[in-house]
Amino acid sequence: MVSSSALVSSALFCLVFLSYYSQNTRGEDFATVSVASLLPSSSCTPNAAQRGNSLQVINRNGPCSGKQLSKLTQVSSLAHDALRVASIQARVTGSWANYNSTLLGTQISIPARSGLYLGSGNYVITLSLGTPTKTQTVIFDTGSNINWVQCRPCAVACYSQAEPIFDPVQSSTYRNVTCTDPLCTGLSIRGCSTGTCLYSVTYGDGSSTVGFLATDTLTLTPTNVLNNFVFGCGQNNRGLFKGAAGLLGLGRSSYSLNSQLSGTLGKVFSYCLPSTDSLTGYLNLGSPLKPPTGFTAILTNSRAPSLYFIDLIGISVGATRLNLSPTVFRSVGTLIDSGTVITRLPPMAYAALRAEFQARMTQYARAPAVSILDTCYNFASGTTISYPIIKLHYTSLDVTLPGVGVFYPVGGSTFCLAFAGNTDPAQPGIIGNVQQKTFEVTYDIPGNRIGFATAGCG
């Protein structure tokens, strides 16, 4: 017969064991982060200097911009983000209505049925163009192909920008591309004026640029100079680019910067987006600064061959892998994009993620939905939060998101889950830049793969 004291001791042991097991299970499922680390400070804190062929990346809305670039609130950024996402999804599904774009005012009108490019993103870099060099701060965008800057004399319209507008007359290495040049005939949307090639790009948010296709010397770093860099010299530029001098495309076409550098740097590039707007990241051209911990294959969508699709097959919240078939993601496809802010998921996938996340966050007060974000919390009562770890599963690669990849600050002490559901199951998923923060994301085009390295930047 077992004594009562033995039963008590056994019960106490079980309680201690269960308590220990529960705490450690939670430790494996949850992470703790300070609320302050999710927010930018009022001053800029640059990361360590980059090496080799890398350029400093800053958020155009943060204190590191320092050049009076246009600034958006977090909520207005979401509205802008929705425009970009709509353009991506329409481009992939082929649902754009036909329309015309006008080149250089009323001079020439040509069809623009091949689809819209994606447009103004969040992050900018500074480079030098021409001889002698002139500094230009431009948006970089993996969803775009044509590089361009505003150019004098701004024959129709230019918006305000931080640096002086580029003047091709002052560059001894500037050349216009002729209408018969293969560089011109290779454009999907082009025109011709007195023998000079015209380009036109219309973006999904309604922004646009029109001008002369040209070449000049591009100085990325003191040791990396690209002669005969092909770019658009914009004479009619409108929209949401204000403050930036133009755009640098990192898509998969022959006109993008990475393609033009392929002869010297092997068509490999990587970037690290900082955790907050008060820190800096980098865009690296050539071999990555940190070797990726793993790779997943780049896939191609025939409707949008210049975009980077990857094979998302599942999501975990804590130790729970959501009960979703890979076909939920594969039937519509998933692309990764530097310019989209909030990750978009198929409706079924987002509903499962939201339900599991909310069930594990009941200790925190809910806050009202903000724009497209419907799972929001008020963290005013504490300095730290414990949240369920979110892991994205790709073919051959699992990526665990840091706290800044889970929450999006929308003002004050309110933070929202940085995911949203598509309105239509036929729309593709998009991995946004919030879920890319702090990783060095490597695009190995010859190897047809994308890799992630943790702690690429602060």
Q: One of 81, 216, 277, 337 is an active-site residue; which one?
A: 337
What does the radius of gyration of the chain's CA atoms come to, in whole angstroms? Answer: 24
| 3-class SS of residue 404 | helix
Alpha-helical segments (H) within 389-455? none
Return d(Cα 379, Cα 370) in angstroms, integer. Answer: 15
Q: Which residues contact 70 (CB under 8 A, 6 or more apart)?
A: 60, 240, 242, 243, 244
Please give the torsion angle defined by the CA atoms of residues 305, 316, 452 and 143, in that order, rounded to the nearest 10 degrees. 30
Instruction: Select from 183, 205, 237 the least CA-distant residue to 117.
Output: 205
Cα 282 to Cα 6, 225, 455: the distances in Å are: 63, 18, 13
Question: 17 pLDDT exceeds 60?
Answer: no
Q: Which residues contact 385 (CB under 8 A, 6 or more apart)?
A: 32, 33, 35, 364, 379, 403
Question: 96 pLDDT exceeds 80?
Answer: no
CATH class of 289-453: mainly beta
Instruction: Select from 45, 62, 65, 46 the least CA-distant residue to 54.
Output: 46
Instruction: Select from 323, 387, 309 the least CA-distant residue to 352.
Output: 323
Peptide bond into 132 cis (omega under 30): yes
Q: What is the pLDDT of residue 369?
A: 96
Structural contact between residues 175 and 196, judged by C-beta atoms closer than 8 angstroms: no
Q: Which residues contact 83 (CB under 8 A, 6 or more apart)?
A: 204, 205, 206
DSSP-derived letter for residue 165 is: P
Pick the CATH number of 54-283 from 3.30.70.890, 3.40.50.2300, 3.30.350.10, 2.40.70.10: 2.40.70.10
Structural contact between residues 140 and 283, judged by C-beta atoms closer than 8 angstroms: yes
The two domains 54-283 and 289-453 share their CATH topology (first three levels equal): yes
Q: How many CA atoms lie within 13 A of 363 on its CB side?
A: 8
Mean pLDDT of 390-397: 98
Q: What is the pLDDT of residue 84?
A: 78
Q: What is the pLDDT of residue 354?
A: 98
Question: 111 pLDDT exceeds 80?
Answer: no
Q: Which amino acid is at 47?
A: N
List 314's β-bridge partners, or say none. Answer: 393
| 3-class SS of residue 337 | coil
Residue 93 pLDDT class (50, 70, 90 cuts): confident
Residue 170 pLDDT class (50, 70, 90 cuts): very high
Give the pLDDT confidence of 204-217 residue by residue, as tens digits: 667 889 999 999 99
Return d(Cα 260, Cα 145) in angstroms, integer. Answer: 11
| 3-class SS of residue 281 | strand
Mean pLDDT of 381-396: 96
Q: What is the pLDDT of residue 10?
A: 37
Question: 9 pLDDT exceeds 70?
Answer: no
Return d(Cα 208, Cα 120) in angstroms, integer. Answer: 10
Angle, CA of 269, 286 and 454, to the nearest 5°: 60
For β-strands 294-301 and 304-310, DSSP reports them as antiparallel
Question: 61 pLDDT exceeds 80?
Answer: no
Cα 178 to Cα 181, 192, 198: the distances in Å are: 5, 8, 9
Q: What is the pLDDT of residue 16?
A: 30
Q: What is the pLDDT of residue 118?
A: 38
Question: 435 pLDDT exceeds 60?
Answer: yes
Structural contact between residues 320 and 356, judged by C-beta atoms closer than 8 angstroms: yes
Q: What is the pLDDT of residue 442?
A: 97
Structural contact between residues 416 and 376, judged by C-beta atoms closer than 8 angstroms: yes
The structure tokens listed for 339 are 């310019």
Give the pLDDT confidence of 294-315 residue by residue, as tens digits: 999 999 999 889 999 999 999 9
Residue 72 pLDDT class (50, 70, 90 cuts): low
337 is catalytic: yes
Q: What is the pLDDT of residue 75?
A: 67
> For the chain, which residues make up each domain, given as ranges?
54-283, 289-453
Q: What is the pLDDT of residue 204?
A: 67
444 is catalytic: no
Residue 278 pLDDT class (50, 70, 90 cuts): confident
Q: One of 141, 205, 216, 444 is an active-site residue; which one?
A: 141
Mean pLDDT of 278-293: 90
